[in-house]
Amino acid sequence: MNILVTGGAGFIGSHTVVALANAGFNPIIVDDFSNSEPTVLAGLKNILGYEVPCHIFDCNNYPGMLQILRDEKISGVIHFAAFKAVGESMQEPLAYYRNNLGSLLTLLDAMLAEGISNFIFSSSCTVYGEPDTSPVTEKAPVKPATSVYGQTKQMGEEILRNVAAAKPLKIVALRYFNPIGAHPSALIGELPRGVPSNLVPFVTQAAAGLRDALTIFGDDYPTSDGTCVRDYIHVMDLAEAHVAALRHSIKIVESNFFDTFNLGSGKGNTVLELVRTFEKISGHPLPYHIGARRKGDVIAVWADVQKSYDLLGWHTKRSLEEALEDAWRWQQRLGDR
Ligand code: UD1
């Protein structure tokens, strides 16, 4: 089956391309390279042994999208293409609404015109805000978003729920917790632009001497060591969950289907635990200091993954150590770029 992967040159998208190909699907990438690099395609070729077709393209272009769905005989779409920087989303709300929601509407229109029903959407645990308890299940209330980025994910889910109720679509929304790591070959991985705002790319860059000390944002939270708790998931585990979600969607016989799934490890780790684990696997102390809390950070969130296990038959296979080893190998391969 030919599967369109929008944002397929991005961090999670590129790893999902590998997982799809490993599972016998034919991934076809659409990416405008606005937040990714064409070098990813060479990495994919090295891993897979063939060139993955790639259309350099903005998903907001309806006639173009229709043409690709038709020409490539697409049977399902995994939609990653979106802006994802929380801070930037507050500065450029229109760009975020236009890109994240506009491309979603365009794709859905084109899929309906072509009679394609299988759709996998990248959502986020950010929809839970500060949950009342963790592990958090998919039944937990969706809390008002504190960023425009978060809002585009919540609104995306709502749009999909409403469209699936009215139109012949089978939609799976995947709520990612904190994806980290890289392909074990170190041929693909995360390529943050500028100073990373996410924890693990900052840690690996600081360890490589490219950044000054890590600032840990607050150590006075009500957690075991005072730092925030997150559910870190290896990007290859996350990628494999997309294959499981796609298979689930293909198996569903009802034509108006929408459901949400948590994708996490099911375990919570504090920032300090992650730092200590990184120091252990890299063999070096990591320079860090404690700073002020970061505005908008939730205290603790980790996933209840029972539903994903029961219905998708998926669970994580890789440990935090493996994820950090792979992230570190990738950083060492990148050198000082
Ligand atoms: C958040 C969102 C996630 C979204 C992502 C996009 C939540 C729970 N998660 O992830 O859905 O996809 O942003 O970027 O809302 N930290 C430091 N120092 C640093 C960087 C981070 O201490 O330099 C800490 C943070 O305070 C946090 C943890 O590390 O406790 C993870 O931070 P980060 O990697 O940015 O991810 P989230 O903020 O959890």
Domain presence at residue 114? yes
pLDDT digits (tens, 9 = 90+) for 201-250: 999 999 999 999 999 999 999 999 999 999 999 999 999 999 999 999 99
DSSP 300: B
Residue 108: predicted pLDDT: 98
Q: Which residues contact 223 (CB under 8 A, 6 or more apart)?
A: 229, 270, 299, 300
CATH number of 252's domain: 3.40.50.720
Of the candidates 242, 89, 228, the one whose C-alpha atom is nearest the C-alpha of residue 176 is 242
Q: What does the longest C-alpha to C-alpha distance in the chain come to? A: 56
Q: Model confidence at 337, in pLDDT bands (50, 70, 90)? A: low
CB 52 within 8 A of CB 27: yes
Please report the atom of ligand 1 found closest to the CA of residue 293.
Answer: 26
**Cα separation of 287 and 272, whole Å?**
12
Domain presence at residue 309? no
Domain presence at residue 23? yes
Residue 336: predicted pLDDT: 66
Rounded to the nearest 5 percent, the helix, strand and coil shares of the chain are 40, 20, 40
256-263 and 169-176: which strand pairing?
Answer: parallel
What's the total number of domains in the chain? 1
Domain presence at residue 312? no
Domain presence at residue 107? yes
Domain presence at residue 306? no
Angstrom CA distances, 126 to 97, 163, 176, 291, 303, stand at 16, 22, 9, 23, 12
What pTM value is reported for the model? 0.97
Residue 144: predicted pLDDT: 86
Whether 199 lines ligand 1, by a CB cut-off of 6 Å, is yes
Ligand 1: centre distance to CA 326 (Å): 19
103-114 vs 62-71: helix axis angle to the nearest 10? 40
Tokens 């957690």: give the residue.
Answer: 223
Whether 217 lines ligand 1, by a CB cut-off of 6 Å, is yes
Range of the domain at 138: 2-180+232-264
Residue 106: predicted pLDDT: 97
DSSP 316: -
Domain presence at residue 326? no
pLDDT digits (tens, 9 = 90+) for 39-91: 999 999 999 999 999 999 899 999 999 999 999 999 999 999 999 999 899 99
Q: How far is CA 208 from the centre of its chain?
A: 24
Whether 297 lines ligand 1, by a CB cut-off of 6 Å, is yes
End-to-end CA distance of the chain: 37
Residue owning the nearest CA to atom 27 of ligand 1: 228
Of the candidates 21, 33, 149, the one whose C-alpha atom is nearest the C-alpha of residue 81 is 33
Q: Which two tokens stand for residue 336?
A: 């000082």
Torsion of CA 85, 129, 160, 149, to 10 degrees: -20
Ligand 1: centre distance to CA 122 (Å): 17
Amino acid 255 reads S
Q: Which residues are catalytic?
A: 149
What's the mean pLDDT when you consider all of the chain? 97
Whether 197 lines ligand 1, by a CB cut-off of 6 Å, is yes
Whether 279 lines ligand 1, by a CB cut-off of 6 Å, is no
Across the range 255-273, mean pLDDT stands at 97
pLDDT digits (tens, 9 = 90+) for 110-150: 999 999 999 999 999 999 999 999 999 999 999 989 899 99
Ligand 1: centre distance to CA 315 (Å): 22
Percent above pLDDT 90 for the chain: 95
Domain presence at residue 98? yes
